[in-house]
């Protein structure tokens, strides 16, 4: 037995209404795709703007040794931030009173050299916790940052005199200090 042959339906053109419907569907799909693409681009731009805003608000300093390590020149990492004044707290075992600078942000070895020589005569290198409150200008506004840093130093023995202290650099420990800066500096200094 043979199978009956199937006939293909006759070819049919789309009516004008069907063609308009298909065209409307294509236009709607393209519109959706374009809107989606714009949303993704706007979300990326918003994300980048938020990230740039966070970077602008963050304050971080870098320090470069000057005068053969006798002092460190402090500078803001972010362009457009200008340091105005600073208050610097060392552990009380090294210095009782805070140091204040205006217009010349720096850390000097002489501020802590005497007590440091007595406390660690045999050490070759070490770190000192330093709490720093910085007033700076950004986008025409005065802002304040309080942070805890580690100050790196090295001792270099000298004949017939005490060891020379050279400051090596500065690294961030914690931003946004709350409470008393002196207590923050003392908290990282070993108790003797």
HEC letters along the chain: CCCCCCCCCCCCCCCHHHHHHHHHHHHHHHHHHHHHHHHHHHHHHHHHHHHHHHHHHCCCEEEEEEHHHCEEEEEECCCCCEEEEEEEECCCCCCCCCEEEECCCEEEHHHCHHHHHHHCCCCCEEEEEEEEEEEEEECCEEEEEEEEEEEEEEEEEECCEEEEEEEEEEEEEEECCCCCHHHHHHHHCCCC
Backbone angles phi and psi of 127, in degrees to 5:
-135, 145
* Residue 117 and residue 71 share a domain: yes
* Residue 87 and residue 71 share a domain: yes
Q: Is residue 7 part of a domain?
A: no
Q: How confident is the model at residue 90 (pLDDT cuts 50, 70, 90)?
A: very high
Least confident of 2-6, 10-14, 170-174, 182-186: 2-6
Give the Cα separation of 111 and 135 in Å (integer).
Answer: 21
Partners of 128 in the β-ladder = 151
pLDDT tens profile 118-172: 876 666 888 999 999 999 998 888 999 999 999 999 988 877 777 788 999 999 9
* Residue 138 and residue 101 share a domain: yes
How many domains does the structure of the chain reveal?
2
* Residue 143 and residue 72 share a domain: yes
* Residue 73 and residue 98 share a domain: yes
Q: Is residue 4 part of a domain?
A: no
**Per-residue confidence (pLDDT) for residue 121, from 0 to 100:** 61
pLDDT tens profile 77-88: 888 899 999 999
* Residue 126 and residue 49 share a domain: no
Give the Cα separation of 35 and 172 in Å (integer).
Answer: 44
Q: Is residue 67 part of a domain?
A: yes
- CA proximity to 151, closest of 170, 165, 132, 166: 170
Q: Is residue 8 part of a domain?
A: no
* Residue 169 and residue 83 share a domain: yes
Task: Determine the average pLDDT of the residues in 110-119.
Answer: 86
Backbone angles phi and psi of 159, in degrees to 5:
-70, 130
Q: How confident is the model at residue 2 (pLDDT cuts 50, 70, 90)?
A: low
Q: Is residue 3 part of a domain?
A: no
* Residue 91 and residue 148 share a domain: yes
- Predicted TM-score (pTM) of the model is 0.69
- Do 120 and 155 touch, CB atoms closer than 8 A? yes
Residue span of the structural domain in which 147 resides = 59-188
């Amino acid at each position: 037995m043979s199978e009956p042959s199937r006939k293909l339906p006759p070819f049919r053109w789309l009516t004008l209404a069907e063609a308009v419907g298909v065209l409307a569907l294509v236009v709607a799909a393209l519109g959706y795709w374009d809107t989606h693409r714009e949303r993704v681009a706007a979300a990326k731009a918003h994300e980048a703007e938020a990230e740039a805003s966070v970077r602008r608000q963050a304050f971080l300093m870098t320090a470069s040794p000057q005068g053969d390590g006798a002092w460190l020149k402090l500078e803001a990492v972010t362009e457009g931030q200008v340091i105005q004044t600073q208050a610097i707290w060392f552990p009380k075992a090294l210095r009782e009173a805070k140091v204040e600078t205006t217009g010349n942000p720096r850390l000097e070895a002489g501020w802590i050299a005497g007590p440091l020589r007595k406390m660690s005569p045999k050490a070759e290198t070490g770190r000192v916790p330093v709490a720093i409150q910085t007033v700076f200008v950004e986008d025409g506004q005065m802002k304040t940052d309080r942070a805890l840093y580690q100050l790196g130093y090295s001792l270099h023995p000298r004949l017939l005199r005490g060891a020379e202290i050279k400051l090596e650099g500065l690294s961030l420990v914690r931003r946004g200090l709350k409470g008393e800066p002196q207590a923050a500096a003392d908290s990282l200094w070993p108790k003797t």
